[in-house]
Structure 1
Amino acid sequence: MKFEVVLKISGKPTLNISASGGLTALTLTGATGTLAPAFSTALRSYTFTGVTASTFTVTPTAASHTIKLYVDGVFVENVTSGSASSAISLTTGVSKLVTLVVNETGKTAITYNIIVD
């Protein structure tokens, strides 16, 4: 006895992957630096200018998330939500690109970029 089966698939697959909740707060410290625009949960790109110190730190807040810190494309550390990163060195006249990759388990990561001058 032979059987032949024809399987026809139609429609679109349902993917149940949603974006992580993202940051709820972001603070950078470094003497008199200013974050612009002001932090908003809807924004992903910032500048931090007017830094007069030789180092600065980043304090991201995102409960129940993994937060990875990169400087100029190089992984530096995992940062605990609400805690300051290790000090990041600055050289006068040289910009730094700080990237935070924020992820909740089972969800799509959100990336934040900060140019520090």
Structure 2
Amino acid sequence: MPIKWISLIDGYFVVSTISISIYSYVLYVIIASKSKAVRSAFFYIFIVTGVFDIMGVIANEWVRNDVNICFGPSFEMISRLAAAMTGTNSLTHLFGSFLMTLNRFT
């Protein structure tokens, strides 16, 4: 039975794609900026946390779509990697948010 790729596109996928695009653009603007203000430790932590957030959203989308349409054994290793990345990226997000909070109050 072939995979119906059109069934991957739903409201959650559209919102995730728009969010990833905007977040990636914000990270690009921060990275490309020549301003001294964005060269602080806070923004370095923000960039690293943002990259892991984007990877986490992509991994969550993969796992969600794997559950919905079952990609099959040919995609098993990618699905396992994405499932492992969801937890790792969530912890990285929490740790990065903690570091940004700590940086702002010190």
TM (norm. structure 1) is 0.21
Larger RCO, structure (CA 8 Å, separation 6 or more):
2
Indicate the structure (1 or 2) with the bigger Cα radius of gyration: 1
